Structure 1
Amino acid sequence: MKNSFLLLFVLILNIFSPVFAQETGMLKGVLKDNKGAPVGFANVALVQKETGTVKTGTTADEKGNFQLKAPVPGTYFLRCTFLGFQHTESESFQVTNESFSKDFGVLVLQEEVTNLKEVTVQTMRPTITNHPDKMVMSVEGTAMAAGSSAYDILTKAPGVWLDQDGNIQLNGKSGVRVMIDGKLTYLSGKELQTFLSGMSADNIKDLEIITNPSAKYDAEGSAGIINLNLKKNSLSGFNGSVYAGYQYNTIHGYSNGGNLNYKKGKWSSTAMLDVSRRARVRTNTMDRAFNEAGNITTLTQKGRENGATFVPNLRLSTDYELSSKHSIGIMANLTYQNQETDFDTDSYLRTGNPENDLFIQARNYTQRNFGNGTFNLHYSGKPDTLGSTLSVDLDYADLLFKGKGDFRNYSRPADLSQPASLDQLGSDNPSGYRIWSAKTDYARPVFTSGKLELGAKASHVVSDNDLQFFFVRENQKIADPLRSSHFIYTENIYAAYANFSTALSEKIQVQGGLRAEQTVAEGHSVTLNDTRNREYFGLFPSIFVQQKVSKNYQLNYNFSRRLDRPGYNNLNPFIFYLDPYSWAKGNPDLKPQYTNSFQLTQTYKDAYTLILGYANTAGFMAEIPTQNNQNKTTEFQTRNVDNFESVNANLVLPVKILPKWEVSNNLSLEYQNYTMYLADKHRRNEQVFFFAQSNHNLQLPKDIRMEVNAGYQGPSAYGLYKIDQNWWVDAGFKRAFLNNQLDLSVNVTDIFKTRRVIGAANFDGNINEFDQYFGMQSFRINLRYRFSRGEKFELKRRNTNLEELRRAGSGS
């Protein structure tokens, strides 16, 4: 396998061998207002004249200075924008070669008539902005980000909400891929929740929501991609920040850390450290009804989960410029987590005969250690003078989990007439994942305004899960072979893609791509001595058409085909203990699901967006609860149901109520339809779903910034489940001191404690209802101090993308 990887990338590098060539020219200038004062932090976009397409851009420094590397030959102009100023465009200019340079001198931005001098980009920056291929939500500098985790921030993103297990969904669909700086987090399920909960939002710049990715991205992830962009170093010399925060959500927590950046000559390096204690609180009420020939038995359970995770996280990266056209870099991300959780439940089992009714107290304790080391070696360059680019990424990840559980169940008659009997169980669960991946991406201009992109990727994954379950009798461990399992899963994925984009006219641009992926996998149950092989091949086309109807009105049409592979642990045929009456069971016959998506996006004045979409998923993977009327237990298993289709409309509506009060609104309406064949019956679960979110930014007196986030999630469907409505309100305040070097932020989330997850499934009269609250209500206070000096420079960005690791830990 490793030899195959080596041969593949030797071939690619021989085809696209970089040529170390001439220096690249620069475009530079300074932005000022009509009084001669610098306009700092304004946006400068490089626009191709023929198509009106933004090719690249930058942000001016605090003195209004900007500079850009010269683009490929063509005709361009600069577009400068800043809140409170009119858009300013330079005269068009012709770039003849990559050594072309131009000094624009002073570009003057004219103030809007309604502008107030007190309104600055820091205080009134738009929270949500739309682009033709994605939606971007700003995080950096917001009051709600201070002291929060990445998981907290994701739950506030447009179209994002949580299912009954706290897993992230996007626009009502599971299978969301979460990336950091274009690199997948390697996790899903509860491991992804824990990882994101231990990651400080103070280090996040913004998040990108991409619902229909192009063929350049891995085909995995039918719901789309959420990419978290971390803050980038933008100054030479030594600079950075430190922060400290406190959180309370009935359990005390804290977050401390900082980042250091250093650039000198051709080296640029960054270090980020966060040490936190993240608290997890969950309350759960569950009601089940077992229907056996009209005789109803009920199980009512109330539970509370209290947990705390100690998380030190260190991220190191360094880049070296071999020349102005070629750079190499290395990144390491090291995370350790120590998690301790108590989950206590009180349950009543009522059979209709009081003599047989039971009261069960479960006292469960789990302790988990998680180590995650991910490493990336990156090369990027321009191998010729035509504007071609080449990047190569080599990735390795080593994930290690060690978990121990102690489960004590005390049973007695419901009338408490007899003492309780103890049934004690335990588990040891070491597991691990090792992942190797290599990829390359090549792009070059073709014809007058075209672009060709080619790429390839290969990955090798080994998942080893050894679950040892046992009874505890008189302090002696007795193996439980029915719950114990050793499962090894090996997977190889080979992929290649081609993308081509061009302008058909001044008003129409097109992009078409095709990705091919071959999957070869083996699941081996050591416990059962059973091996199952699977191999499948898929083609994943994508088409994008952009039509500029007028200066203010634009249409985008797109289609893509994607898939979701089963999580590694979901293929393990053994059971995973939840409580005496509940467990999850793997499904070795689980198959990938495939989704075809269509979207029409209408954009008006680069601000107002209406997205109309349709998606159809074949073989949708959904959790199916199966209740046993004999022993009153419930088994949860992920299965392929027949089909899921959705028709949706999404409206992004920014509103400026007052000069110091701006609002970003996001409204969604969706028809959801699940069809499935279960227990010899065709079944349908459909729902019209409505979602609304409103983000308010207000500039108050005394330089205090206030943020309010309000949301409503209407009734929705998911597999067999019907999910009830919920709503929430968050608020935050922020003020800067010491010439904007010190920030104080205070925020309260879910003020009215209304963001509950309530739902039910009715399977032939067998009912499973739940009411869960994930401790969303919290108070946070945070301090951040920044220190910086030096000149602007460009930090190279990695574009790695490991979808294989996202599925690690699924089904926990």
Structure 2
Amino acid sequence: MKLHLTKILFLIMLALAVNAGAQPTHPANATVTGILLNEQSKPMDYVTVTLLRAADSSVVNGTLTNDAGKYVFDKIAAGNYIIKGTNLGYQPAISQVFNVAAGQVNVVAPTLRMQPGNRSLQGVTVVSTKPLIERKLDRTVMNVENSVLAAGNSALEILERAPGVTVDKDDNISLKGKQGVTVMINDKLTYMSAAQLATFLRSTDGSTIQSIEVITNPSAKYDASGNSGIINIKLKKNRQSGTNGSLTANAAYGKNFRDNTSLTLNHKSGNLNVFGTLTRGDINRENNINIDRNIKSGDTTTYFRQHTTMLNHIHYNNYRFGADYSTSNKNTLGFVVNGDYTNEYNDNKNTTYLGLTPAANESYQNTLSNIKQTYRSFSANINDKLLIDTAGQELSIDLDYSRYHNNSDAKYDTYFFNPDGSSMSTPLFLKNQTPSFITIWTQKADYTKQLTKTLKFEAGVKFSSVKTDNDLQAQINTDGTFVNDTSRTNRFVYDEKIAAGYINLGKTFSKTTVQAGLRAERTSSQGDLITGNQTVKRHYLNFFPSVFINHTLSDKHEIGVSYSRRIDRPNYDNLNPFRYYLDQYTYEQGNPFLRPQYTNAFELNYTYNKTINVTLGYSRTTDVITETLIADTIAKTTYQTNMNLQTQDSYNININSPFTITKWWTGNINATGFYQKFKSDSLSGGQLNAGKAAFQARLTQNFLFSGFKAELSGNYQSALRYGIFDIKPQYSVDAGVSRSFAGKKLNVKLSVTDIFNTRRNRVSSQFEAIDLNINQKNETRLARLTLTYNFGNTKIRMRQHQSGADDEKGRVKSGN
């Protein structure tokens, strides 16, 4: 019954809002509507339309056309008027004089038609462009279209230049020092793994991007999950019929070879738009880990020295296809289907030395593990967008279904030796099979109504249902035969249902814009540890307010403040209590008792001259979900898990500035300074109260010469503290050169990442019984050759459709 309460409230609210707009009124002024068409008599969207007095051409009002090319002016007094339409690349269109008579309610203006062309002044073409950096109410916008960034760069390369955004060597996207960023395309949330998203963005040409929006404090309209923010990539809309596509081939070599190929096709004919993408790839990589740790038990200390070599082989195939059909000028119906077929093989060799003194090795052991994992997924989305009227009233609906089937077959062979290399004891042979099924259903509806010219109302509901089923089947070799290992065999089933609703109100004044919203989410979850006969139930209702204020001080100065409350629920994999071994003394284990974490975030933003952006932020997170290590002083084991810490306080400042030295030398500086403090009164029996100031910086320089484009970038991350871990500094230098051929249809790029092979992970931790040092070196220096060929009508781009299930999908472990 409680789950239907939000439905009922929303329907009542929607009915009242629609009814309020339909009430008979007796206005003293009229509403003027019209339509703007291009030279082919097709509607032109998002064109500036101005209402002028016929007597002196003074401006009365201004607006933009909607998707159907329609516009509306409210509260127009009696008199004679003309309509003027202006758009980049077109000649201005001016209507004939028309009259608004006293007492008229609705007036239809003469149809406007625009013709292609440009304006020249003494041989100089006048072109207007938006500022590169634009500050809006709840987001910072980087206008890529018509900028120097659009030509020759991929979407991933452009994204790295967005304010506060960094992309690391593994293609993980961070926003102001925080990972876990949600990526949207054309205002639709999306779920892809880091590798899938990187492949998609690398194969998306910069010329197809209109803008990139950075939303560090999302409004109530968005899912309350995620404290890192949202990045929204807006692609240009389809405006012409035809077929186009792109083929991208990528090959890279470091110590091992890797490659991928993707094909994208789009076709638009009349009201139908069909699109699809196929991607396949192979990744071979090596990871070397050295771990030195000491475990204290009373007056005795046991010393461990470990070296692990991990060889990883991944083969993946992904597909995505869909279609949009405009049933009328007001309604668009669409669907999109995604699939993933990935196989992963891991060959790991681990050697661990043990002793009671740092120098002595009383024994050692070798663990050889072979792990085969498969990831299969299928997702389907149906969506409908209805424009109720020309005043901006619309309703959109998304229905989603997703299913994941992952399986892991693991074999662990451990051999024990004396210091002289002789056998010490009988080898230990273990096997695991871990099939996993995840099913997600979601339904989402969003409603928007322009109550007045300066007051906007938004509301929506969302329902999701998730079920995960993980079955660990473990065996141990006894007398040459594998039998069931009851100490490790387990089954974990998790059910979760979330009902959500939100409202937003936005008001525009002369120089100030204000938006306030409230989102409510009710969560019911149950985790059943079937073999252990344990059940964890949770039921909670949360409210997530948000407020945004933006003020224009002058043409060169803008400021904004914002506040929002967020939630992060545990990933499904982190709730799973199964153990995954590196060796007999080192393993990873989930925590079914994890609680969600909550964040209150505040932000102050300043923009100078539409280019330099400075942001100050503060956030406090409670019940912080943090990776930690726990030592068993009796068994001498150490395992990694996630636990809830008490609080995390985070302060940050970000400065982003593009620069131009000469016509052929441009660049961008992005610097983030932050301080994170963690506190917990009861972590592994001890107290944690630690923090450290840190910073990240990225300098990118671009050079144009003789048809070539070169890029040189440097990254630096200072030492930082995260939970119980101290992370040492990291730095690297990347470079690349590219050139376009065949009328810019073919682009060839050669690049090298981490030229000096300096990027490595060095982590230490001294907490309670653990004294730990980790030195990890991935395969980071890669020489890469990328070929991209665009064919067909390159003005056609797919309308990107993502689903409403992305918060839930983002908590699923992906294969590549």
Q: Determine if the TM-score, normalized by the shorter chain, exceeds 0.5.
A: yes
Structure 1 equivalent of residue 614 of structure 2: 610
Greater shift, 306-315 or 594-603, is seen at: 306-315
SS in 2 for 1:587: coil
Contact 1:557 1:601 survives alignment (8 Å): yes
**Structure 2 Cα separation of the partners of residues 811 and 619 of structure 1:** 28
1:737 matches 2:747: no
Match of 1:400 among 397, 405, 423: 405
Structure 1 equivalent of residue 203 of structure 2: 202
1:102 matches 2:112: yes
Give the alignment of 1:657-672 within 5 angstroms: 657-672=661-676
Greater shift, 595-604 or 134-143, is seen at: 134-143
SS in 1 for 2:226: coil
Contact 1:44 1:79 survives alignment (8 Å): no
1:690 partner letter = F
1:622 partner letter = T
**Structure 1 Cα separation of the partners of residues 734 and 593 of structure 2:** 43
1:245 matches 2:250: yes
Greater shift, 308-317 or 212-221, is seen at: 308-317
Give the alignment of 1:162-181 within 5 angstroms: 169-179=174-184
1:634 matches 2:635: no
> Residues 481 and 631 (structure 1 numbering): CA distance in 2 closer, same or farther, change over 3 Å?
same
Structure 1 equivalent of residue 528 of structure 2: 524
1:699 matches 2:704: yes
Shift of 1:500: 0.8
**Structure 2 Cα separation of the partners of residues 98 and 770 of structure 1:** 72
1:625 matches 2:632: no
> Residues 11 and 547 (structure 1 numbering): CA distance in 2 closer, same or farther, change over 3 Å?
closer
1:271 matches 2:287: no
2:759 partner letter = R
Match of 1:753 among 753, 757, 760: 757
Contact 2:498 2:521 survives alignment (8 Å): yes
**Structure 2 Cα separation of the partners of residues 741 and 344 of structure 1:** 46
> Residues 341 and 229 (structure 1 numbering): CA distance in 2 closer, same or farther, change over 3 Å?
farther
Contact 1:470 1:478 survives alignment (8 Å): yes
1:789 partner letter = N
Contact 1:178 1:226 survives alignment (8 Å): yes
SS in 1 for 2:218: coil
**Structure 2 Cα separation of the partners of residues 807 and 223 of structure 1:** 15
1:287 partner letter = D
Shift of 1:200: 6.4
2:230 partner letter = I
Greater shift, 372-381 or 469-478, is seen at: 469-478
Shift of 1:680: 4.8
Shift of 1:348: 1.7
Contact 1:256 1:275 survives alignment (8 Å): yes
**Structure 2 Cα separation of the partners of residues 401 and 662 of structure 1:** 46
Contact 1:143 1:732 survives alignment (8 Å): no
**Structure 2 Cα separation of the partners of residues 556 and 638 of structure 1:** 36
Shift of 1:91: 10
**Structure 1 Cα separation of the partners of residues 611 and 356 of structure 2:** 59
Equivalenced residues, count:
771
Shift of 1:81: 7.8
Write out per-residue CA displacement over residues 479-505 of structure 1, whole angstroms, 9 at most, x where no aligned residue: 2222222111110000000011111x2
Structure 2 equivalent of residue 256 of structure 1: 261
Contact 1:144 1:731 survives alignment (8 Å): no
Shift of 1:454: 0.7
Contact 2:443 2:463 survives alignment (8 Å): yes
Contact 1:748 1:780 survives alignment (8 Å): yes
SS in 2 for 1:342: strand
**Structure 2 Cα separation of the partners of residues 759 and 320 of structure 1:** 53
**Structure 2 Cα separation of the partners of residues 230 and 282 of structure 1:** 37
**Structure 2 Cα separation of the partners of residues 643 and 811 of structure 1:** 32
Structure 2 equivalent of residue 85 of structure 1: none
Structure 2 equivalent of residue 334 of structure 1: 339
Contact 1:260 1:271 survives alignment (8 Å): yes
Shift of 1:287: 1.5
**Structure 1 Cα separation of the partners of residues 152 and 416 of structure 2:** 48
Structure 1 equivalent of residue 26 of structure 2: none
Structure 2 equivalent of residue 236 of structure 1: 241
Contact 1:23 1:325 survives alignment (8 Å): no
1:551 matches 2:555: yes
> Residues 794 and 193 (structure 1 numbering): CA distance in 2 closer, same or farther, change over 3 Å?
closer
SS in 1 for 2:546: strand
Shift of 1:173: 3.5
Shift of 1:162: 8.6
**Structure 2 Cα separation of the partners of residues 470 and 679 of structure 1:** 30
**Structure 1 Cα separation of the partners of residues 521 and 424 of structure 2:** 60
SS in 1 for 2:318: strand
Structure 2 equivalent of residue 778 of structure 1: 782
Shift of 1:285: 1.7
Structure 1 equivalent of residue 415 of structure 2: 410
TM-score, normalised via structure 2 length: 0.84
**Structure 2 Cα separation of the partners of residues 679 and 740 of structure 1:** 60
> Residues 252 and 271 (structure 1 numbering): CA distance in 2 closer, same or farther, change over 3 Å?
same
Shift of 1:413: 2.0
**Structure 1 Cα separation of the partners of residues 419 and 663 of structure 2:** 63
Structure 2 equivalent of residue 728 of structure 1: 732
Contact 1:452 1:498 survives alignment (8 Å): yes
Greater shift, 345-354 or 793-802, is seen at: 793-802
> Could you say which structure has the greater relative contact order, defined with CA pairs below 8 angstroms and 6 or more residues apart?
1
Write out per-residue CA displacement over residues 8-58 of structure 1, whole angstroms, 9 at most, x where no aligned residue: 799599949999xx998236599xxxxxxxxxxxx9874999999998799
> Residues 8 and 608 (structure 1 numbering): CA distance in 2 closer, same or farther, change over 3 Å?
same
Contact 2:285 2:312 survives alignment (8 Å): yes
Structure 1 equivalent of residue 543 of structure 2: 539
Structure 1 equivalent of residue 656 of structure 2: 652
> Residues 179 and 747 (structure 1 numbering): CA distance in 2 closer, same or farther, change over 3 Å?
same
SS in 1 for 2:810: helix
2:763 partner letter = G
Structure 1 equivalent of residue 501 of structure 2: 496
Contact 2:240 2:796 survives alignment (8 Å): yes
> Residues 167 and 262 (structure 1 numbering): CA distance in 2 closer, same or farther, change over 3 Å?
closer
Structure 2 equivalent of residue 39 of structure 1: none
Contact 1:200 1:274 survives alignment (8 Å): no
**Structure 2 Cα separation of the partners of residues 570 and 155 of structure 1:** 29
2:731 partner letter = W
> Residues 742 and 691 (structure 1 numbering): CA distance in 2 closer, same or farther, change over 3 Å?
same
Contact 1:661 1:697 survives alignment (8 Å): yes
SS in 2 for 1:803: helix
SS in 1 for 2:203: helix
Identity of aligned residues (%): 30
1:737 partner letter = F
> Residues 2 and 766 (structure 1 numbering): CA distance in 2 closer, same or farther, change over 3 Å?
closer
> Residues 4 and 540 (structure 1 numbering): CA distance in 2 closer, same or farther, change over 3 Å?
closer
1:310 partner letter = H
SS in 2 for 1:697: strand
TM-score, normalised via structure 1 length: 0.84
Greater shift, 350-359 or 434-443, is seen at: 350-359
Write out per-residue CA displacement over residues 730-756 of structure 1, whole angstroms, 9 at most, x where no aligned residue: 112111111111111111111111222
> Residues 380 and 166 (structure 1 numbering): CA distance in 2 closer, same or farther, change over 3 Å?
closer
SS in 2 for 1:804: helix
**Structure 2 Cα separation of the partners of residues 71 and 405 of structure 1:** 62
Shift of 1:440: 0.6
**Structure 2 Cα separation of the partners of residues 45 and 666 of structure 1:** 33
> Residues 454 and 203 (structure 1 numbering): CA distance in 2 closer, same or farther, change over 3 Å?
same
Match of 2:366 among 358, 361, 384: 361
> Residues 618 and 197 (structure 1 numbering): CA distance in 2 closer, same or farther, change over 3 Å?
same
Write out per-residue CA displacement over residues 417-446 of structure 1, whole angstroms, 9 at most, x where no aligned residue: 447853222211110111000001110111
Contact 2:303 2:358 survives alignment (8 Å): no
Match of 2:595 among 577, 591, 596: 591
Match of 1:805 among 787, 797, 809: 809
For structure 1, list consecutive stretches of 5 or more residues without a partner in the other structure.
Answer: 31-42, 59-66, 83-87
**Structure 1 Cα separation of the partners of residues 657 and 188 of structure 2:** 30
Q: Which has the larger radius of gyration?
A: 2
1:70 matches 2:74: no
Contact 1:143 1:733 survives alignment (8 Å): no
Shift of 1:569: 2.9
1:411 partner letter = F
Contact 2:381 2:401 survives alignment (8 Å): yes
SS in 2 for 1:641: strand
Shift of 1:2: 15
Structure 2 equivalent of residue 562 of structure 1: 566
